[in-house]
Amino acid sequence: MSDKPEKLITDDGLRLDGRRADEIRPMKIEIGVLSRADGSCYLEWGKNKILVGVFGPREAHPRRSQRSDTAVIRYRYNMASFSVEDRARPGPSRRSIEISKVSREAFEPVIMTELFPKTAIDIFVEVLQADAGTRTAAINASSIALADAGIPMKGLITSCAFGKVDGQIVLDLNKEEDNYGEADFPVAMTQDGDITLLQMDGHLTPEEIRKGLELVKKGCKEILEIQRTVLRKKFETPIVEPEEET
Ligand code: CDP
């Protein structure tokens, strides 16, 4: 790993990648990239590269995992061994199990599971390249893949983190900021702004959390617009005006 830079934020308020405190990294989304999945998404956010496949609703196996009144959501977050600087050990880890659990819970309030009893909805996340913020990137990609699969949802979920770097509250930490910053605070929310995931690593005052949540709301609004644009492009049928009779 590189040494800690002297400053993560310059005197003119710019971060090492040129962003201001309230800016998210550039995001690129491709929808429907896996032909065997019911829904899929490839997302790049800064240097993060994430692939998500959604399968279902389909009969849940093993049978004892079925619920008679609702679908079960299964979310598996996995890091490719080549996705990080030091090789990630294959297979589940405490970290990936935790991320899978909180990410599944982030979707539970919006997926209309009551419509599909006895089934499972599987969300498989593969992190191909990691640069901090992979859980938030994966949630944004999963939201698109679920919509691509046509799974009824009350709305999209968007996700973004804020953190504290050189004593300042900033949006969407990159790897250097995550490594050498003082706090990291990932959040996911519904399109109405209801929070469905909230975690904190580090120390923050209540005032810093309030400020950070304002930044996150702004970031999530921008992400929601990107998600909506991609979905509109795929699903909106253009209105063809009838030709005027002459
Ligand atoms: O990725 P996210 O910020 O959601 O989770 P994290 O546990 O805070 O990890 C931050 C970053 O550390 C990841 O995005 C990776 O870039 C890196 N990391 C790593 O290099 N090796 C691991 N085994 C796990 C994470």
Q: Give the residue whose CA is nearest to atom 16 of ligand 1.
A: 131
Q: Give the residue whose CA is nearest to atom 18 of ligand 1.
A: 84
- Looking at residue 3, what is its pLDDT? 79
Atom of ligand 1 at shortest distance to CA of 201? 8
Three-class DSSP category at 39: strand
Three-class DSSP category at 68: coil
pTM for the full predicted model: 0.96
56 Cα distance to chain centroid: 20
178 CA distance to ligand 1 middle (Å)? 8
With a Cβ cut-off of 6 Å, ligand 1 is lined by 84-85, 88, 95, 130-135, 175, 178, 184
ipTM attached to this prediction: 0.99
If one counts every other C-beta atom within 10 angstroms of the C-beta of residue 170, the result is 25
162, 178, 185, 216: residue to mutate for ligand 1 pocket, most atoms within 8 A of CB = 178
Closest CA to 43 of 155, 153, 158: 158
- 125: tokens are 């996340």
> Tokens 């998404």 — which residue?
41
Closest CA to 182 of 9, 17, 1, 2: 9
pLDDT band at 1; cut points 50, 70, 90 = low
- Looking at residue 109, what is its pLDDT? 98
61 CA distance to ligand 1 middle (Å)? 31
Q: Give the residue whose CA is nearest to atom 19 of ligand 1.
A: 84
125 CA distance to ligand 1 middle (Å)? 14
- 97: tokens are 């199990």
75, 78, 84: residue to mutate for ligand 1 pocket, most atoms within 8 A of CB = 84
117 CA distance to ligand 1 middle (Å)? 35
- Looking at residue 98, what is its pLDDT? 98
- Looking at residue 139, what is its pLDDT? 99
Please give the domain boundaries of the chain with CATH numbers for all domains.
27-224 (3.30.230.70)
Beta strand pairing call for 183-190 and 195-198: antiparallel
pLDDT tens, position by position, 115-164: 999 999 999 999 999 999 999 999 999 999 999 999 999 999 999 999 99
192 CA distance to ligand 1 middle (Å)? 28
pLDDT tens, position by position, 77-124: 999 999 999 999 999 999 999 999 999 999 999 999 999 999 999 999
Q: Give the residue whose CA is nearest to atom 9 of ligand 1.
A: 132
Atom of ligand 1 at shortest distance to CA of 135? 4
Phi, psi of 77 (to 5 degrees): -95, 125
Angle between helices 94-107 and 134-148 (to 10 degrees): 50
- Looking at residue 239, what is its pLDDT? 75
